[in-house]
Structure 1
Amino acid sequence: MIKLALKSVFTAGLMVLLMACSPLKVLNAFTPGTTFSRVSDLAYGPDPRNKLDVYMPKDVAADAPVVVFFYGGSWISGSRGDYAFVGEALASRGIVAVLADYRLYPQVHYQELLQDSAQAVVWTRGHIRQFGGDSGKLYVMGHSAGAYNAAMLALDPRWLATAGATPSIIKGWIGLAGPYDFLPIEDAEVKPVFYFPNSPPDSQPINHVSATSPPALLIASVDDTEVNPQRNTGGMTLRLRAQGVSVREVYFSRTTHRTLVGAFARPLRSLAPVLEEVVAFIHAQDQAQVSSVSVSH
C-alpha cells in the first residue's frame, strides 16, 4: 500500500515536471541504457532527414519481431532521438525497434513524407536480419501524426509501391491517438501540409480500408482534445470491422493525447498498459501465423 502510494506521488510529481520542462527529454532522462543496444544514424535515403536508429534487445535472438515507429508533431516537427524511451520499451520486451525520421512541412507535403516513411519500412525489411529481426514479423506503429503515416502505409498501397513493395509486407499496424478521418482540416498548422482547402479525400486513411488490410491495434485516450477519438479511432475500427479485418480497439481514461505515448516510458507506465497492449498484439499475430503454418502442414 505504501509502495503504491509512493509510486502515485512520484508519477504526479513527474507529471508536474513534464509540464514545466521539455517533456520528451525528461522521459528520456529516466530511460535506462542497460536493456538495449542501439545503432544510430543509419541512412535509408538521400535526404539528411532520411535517417533511423535501431534498438535491439540486449539478448536479442534471431527472428525477433520488428516495429517501425513514426512519431507525431503535426508533420511539422519531431526527431527520432526524442523517443528513445519508445525504443527502450520495445527492446526491453524482445522487440527490435526502428525509429525513423522523415521529411516535414514546409520542406515537403504529405505525399513526400509518406514516401519517406515507406522507404524507411522497405529499408528495414531488407536490412533488419543483421540486427536480429525477422522481416516476416514486420509491424508499423505511430503516435498522432505518426499513426497517420503508419495507417497510410498499411492501408493505401500507393505509398509502399513507391519503394517497390506492397502492404502485404506489414503483418500488423498500431495506431496511438491517430488521425484517420480529419477533413475538413481545422488545425491551422496542418492545413498547408494537405493543400487546404483542396485537401484530397484520398489523403484520408479511412478511405483506403479493404478486406485485405492488415490487422490493427488502435489505442486512444478517452478525453483526447487534440484528435477526436470517437471519429478517428472509433470510426476506423468500425470501417475495419465492416471489411472483416481483425482490429482491437482500446481506450484509456488516465492518459491524454500526449501521455498516451509517454506511457511507454518507465515512470509513466502506471498511467495505462500501452506497452502491454502492443506486446500482446504482436505476440497474438505471431502466434496466429505459427498456428496457420502448423495447420497448413
Structure 2
Amino acid sequence: MNISTQLPRRSLFAMLPALLTACSAVDLLNATVPKDTYRLVDGVPYGPHGRQRLDVYQPPGDTKGAPLVVFFYGGTWSSGNRADYRFVGEALASEGIVTVVADYRLSPEFRYPAFVEDSARAVRWALEKAPAYGADPGRVFVMGHSAGAYNAAMVALDPRWLRAEGLAPSRLAGWIGLAGPYDFLPIGDRQTRVAFNWPDTPTDSQPMVHVSPGAPDTLLLAPAVDHLVNTQRSTVTLAQRLKSAGVKVESDLFSTVNHVTLVASMAAVMREKAPVLERVTAFVKSKT
C-alpha cells in the first residue's frame, strides 16, 4: 500500500513529526517517496566488511557531468542502515544529483576511528567511480546528518583520513553538515562514550580543531533549538571559525524543525517544514 495515496497530504504531514520518534517512522517516510525520480544501484561494496556497502541513486536520464554527493546518516555511531535513507537519495537524485548513501562500521563492535576511516574509503570510491555513474569527479561533495555530519566533517577538515586513501580534502568540491556534533568533549552520552572510548578520547577527534584555510567550501544547517546537539557550540561556532580562516561558508538555523525533522524535511511530504533540500541543491549546483 502506498501510504501517500491513502492519507491526505496535510494529514500525513501533520503526523510525521510525532511518528519520526517511532521505529516505523522511516518506513512511513520512505513510503511517500516517488519511484520514477531515480535509478537505484544497491549494495555496492566499497570495502571487504559487510558494513562497507553503499547505494547509488542516479537521476533518470542522462547524468553526464552531474555533481555527486556522498551522504552519511546519523545514529550515535551505533545504529543505522543505508536503506532507511531512500528519501534522501531520491530527493537529491530528483534534483539531478548523483547520490551515494553509505553504511559504515558501528559501535560497540567498532570504535573511533573506524567509522571515519570507512567514510574516507567511501569517498575514495565515489571519486574513483563517479564517471561510471555519470558524475563529474571534480564535483564530489560529502554530506551527513548528526553523527554522519561528524563523519563528513572529519573527512573534509582533517586531512589524515583521505591521506590514508591517497587523497586530500582539496579533491572535494565542498561539504555539507546537517545538525552535526563538531565539538563535544567531555562526553556525557553513554553511546557516544562507547563509540569514542571515553575517557581515552583524543582531542584531535573533534572536527573543530581541524579548521584551516584549506578546508573545502562549507554549508552548515541546523535547527535553532536542538536538544541532542548543541547548535551554538557546534554549528554556529564552526561556521564562525571557518569564516575567520577564510573558508567560504554558508550557514542557517531553522526554527521550524528539530534534530530529526531537519533531515526528514528533505522528503517531499515534509519539505514545507524547512528549505533544506533547496539549500543543499543550490550549494551543490553553485560549484561548477
Band of TM-score, shorter chain: over 0.9
Structure 2 vs 1, CA of residues 21 and 160 (structure 1 numbering), >3 Å: closer, same or farther?
Answer: closer
Structure 2 vs 1, CA of residues 19 and 70 (structure 1 numbering), >3 Å: closer, same or farther?
Answer: closer
Partner of 2:213: 211
Where does 1:218-229 land on structure 2 (aligned, <5 Å)? 218-229=220-231
The amino acid that maps onto 1:124 is A
The amino acid that maps onto 1:251 is L
- The answer to whether 1:22 aligns with 2:58 is no
Where does 1:1-297 land on structure 2 (aligned, <5 Å)? 8-20=10-22, 22-286=24-288
Q: C-alpha distance in 2, partners of 1:209/1:46?
A: 32
Report the alpha carbon displacement of residue 285 of structure 1 after superposing the two structures with TM: 2.0
Query: Where in structure 1 are there 5+ consecutive unaligned residues?
Result: 1-5, 287-297
Q: C-alpha distance in 2, partners of 1:140/1:217?
A: 11
Secondary structure (helix, strand or coil) at the match of 1:258 reads helix
Q: C-alpha distance in 2, partners of 1:78/1:105?
A: 11
Report the alpha carbon displacement of residue 20 of structure 1 after superposing the two structures with TM: 4.9
The amino acid that maps onto 1:83 is Y
Q: C-alpha distance in 2, partners of 1:150/1:123?
A: 15
Report the alpha carbon displacement of residue 88 of structure 1 after superposing the two structures with TM: 0.1
TM-score under structure 1 normalisation? Answer: 0.92
Say whether the 8 Å CA contact 1:37–1:55 is kept in structure 2.
Answer: yes
Q: C-alpha distance in 2, partners of 1:252/1:196?
A: 32
Structure 2 vs 1, CA of residues 27 and 43 (structure 1 numbering), >3 Å: closer, same or farther?
Answer: same
Report the alpha carbon displacement of residue 113 of structure 1 after superposing the two structures with TM: 1.2
Say whether the 8 Å CA contact 1:55–1:91 is kept in structure 2.
Answer: yes
**1:197-237, CA deviations, whole angstroms, 9 ceiling, x for partnerless residues?**
12111000000010010010000001110001010001101
Query: Where in structure 2 are there 5+ consecutive unaligned residues?
Result: 1-7
The amino acid that maps onto 1:110 is Y
Report the alpha carbon displacement of residue 147 of structure 1 after superposing the two structures with TM: 0.2
Q: C-alpha distance in 2, partners of 1:62/1:254?
A: 36
Q: C-alpha distance in 2, partners of 1:237/1:80?
A: 28
Q: C-alpha distance in 2, partners of 1:224/1:23?
A: 19
- How many residue pairs match? The answer is 281
Say whether the 8 Å CA contact 2:211–2:242 is kept in structure 1.
Answer: yes
Structure 2 vs 1, CA of residues 34 and 131 (structure 1 numbering), >3 Å: closer, same or farther?
Answer: same
Q: C-alpha distance in 1, partners of 2:62/2:184?
A: 39
Alpha-carbon RMSD: 1.2
Structure (1/2) with the larger helix percentage: 1
Q: C-alpha distance in 2, partners of 1:208/1:19?
A: 33
Say whether the 8 Å CA contact 2:16–2:25 is kept in structure 1.
Answer: no
The amino acid that maps onto 1:15 is P
Percent sequence identity over matched residues?
51
Say whether the 8 Å CA contact 1:60–1:94 is kept in structure 2.
Answer: no
The amino acid that maps onto 1:193 is A
Ranges of 4+ aligned residues in structure 1 off by more than 2 Å: 6-10, 13-21
Report the alpha carbon displacement of residue 19 of structure 1 after superposing the two structures with TM: 4.2
